[in-house]
Amino acid sequence: MKSYTKVSDILNLSNLIHQAIDIKQNPFQNAELGKHKTLVMLFFNSSLRTRLSTEKAARSLGMEVMVLNVNEAWQLEFQDGTKMNTHTTEHIKEAAKVISQYADIIAVRAFPKLKDKLEDETEIVLKSFIKYATVPIINMESATAHPLQALTDAITITEHKTQKKPKVVLSWAPHPKALPQSVANSFVEMMQLMQVDLCVTHPKDYDLKPDIVKNTEVIYDQEKALKNADFVYVKNWSSYKFYGEIRNQDESWTMTKAKLGNAKFMHCLPVRRNLVASDEVLDHKNSLVVEQANNRTYAAQAVITQILNRLKKD
Ligand code: CP
């Protein structure tokens, strides 16, 4: 693997999942692979899991890690040809090349603004690092995708499935803030690559991007969608059609134990209790959320291992 900026960068999903599960059994099996290599992690937005799990993964491979909260550094300019006479101080053309001198891998988190669909879909921050950096890039959640989370979810489902083709339901939930579609997008893309029976359920006006959903079944009736589910992944996202808007706050979409039945419950975290899912769901033995967060480390470690092995070859 050269870089990991989208689900489609995965060369062989089954191999990667099993590599991550193997790393989980013995996290220090490649403790020298990253010796004298540095991971620079750039955060344009907040994080708990991604920051700590990716750092832990890199350190288990012997890497040095440097973290920069970019909003505390110089304000970057991403547009080409701009006369920089307002608030931006440094152009990405210099910044990405400079950071590449300190890093062997750069990881970037940059959320969408959720104001202008076309602008967010250009993925200008992530794509600018891909364009101007001279080292591999890892996407730690961008405007439209969260591939590290999706890999984690694939690992978790693989570990917990009890049948060859489990039924997996992605169910929307209410939330007071407008959130990106990134987690849902990458989850759908990842599940489409797996041996699962996937369906997505959400209120009208919350359809995800058609290019991502493709032929995946969409059921607007949550109760119907949840029938016989083995895994229920609950997540809020703001409207894609009415871009970035909150069109619905109907708490009848909140996940309850009665609706969940015996299915395993999944969420990427952070989660708003008793709004996205009830206490009973989150505190139940069928909740996988803490284990998912643990698997973030092994997903990141498998990805970094593949990138470091590729760097060794080049
Ligand atoms: N799931 C996830 O990406 O968590 P953080 O936002 O805390 O990194």
| Number of helices (H), then strands (E), in the chain | 12, 11
Residues 206/188, Cβ–Cβ less than 8 Å: no
Residues 67/52, Cβ–Cβ less than 8 Å: no
- Model pLDDT, residue 105: 98
- Nearest C-alpha to atom 3 of ligand 1 is from which residue? 50
User: 268 CB under 6 A from ligand 1?
Assistant: yes
By C-alpha distance, which of 150, 260, 148, 146 is closest to 194? Answer: 150
User: 49 CB under 6 A from ligand 1?
Assistant: yes
What lies within 8 Å, CB to CB, of 62 at 6+ separation is: 30, 31, 32, 33, 34, 35, 37
| H-type alpha helices, the chain | 13-25, 49-60, 92-102, 117-121, 124-132, 147-160, 182-192, 210-213, 222-226, 257-260, 279-282, 289-313
What's the token pair of residue 226? Answer: 């949840």
**What is the DSSP code string of 155-168?**
HHHHHH--SSS-EE
What are 109-148's pLDDT values in tens digits?
A: 999 999 999 999 999 999 999 999 999 999 999 999 999 9
- Nearest C-alpha to atom 1 of ligand 1 is from which residue? 268
* Average pLDDT value over all residues in the chain: 98
Find the 86 Cα to ligand 1 centroid distance in Å: 32
Average pLDDT over residues 16-21: 98
Average pLDDT over residues 274-297: 98
What are 190-236's pLDDT values in tens digits?
A: 999 999 999 999 999 999 999 999 999 999 999 999 999 999 999 99
User: Would you give the DSSP letter of residue 286?
Assistant: T
- Model pLDDT, residue 154: 98
User: 269 CB under 6 A from ligand 1?
Assistant: yes
- Nearest C-alpha to atom 4 of ligand 1 is from which residue? 49
User: 189 CB under 6 A from ligand 1?
Assistant: no
Find the 202 Cα to ligand 1 centroid distance in Å: 22
What lies within 8 Å, CB to CB, of 256 at 6+ separation is: 277, 278, 280, 281
Q: Which residues are paired to 137 by β-bridges?
A: 106
* All structural domains of the chain: 7-145+296-313 (3.40.50.1370), 147-292 (3.40.50.1370)
pTM for this one?
0.98
By C-alpha distance, which of 170, 181, 184, 267 is closest to 226? Answer: 170
Question: What confidence tier does 32 reach under pLDDT thresholds 50, 70, 90?
Answer: very high
d(C-alpha 106, C-alpha 307), whole Å: 11
- Model pLDDT, residue 149: 98
CA of residue 82 relative to chain centroid, distance: 31
In one-letter notation, the amino acid at residue 201 is: T
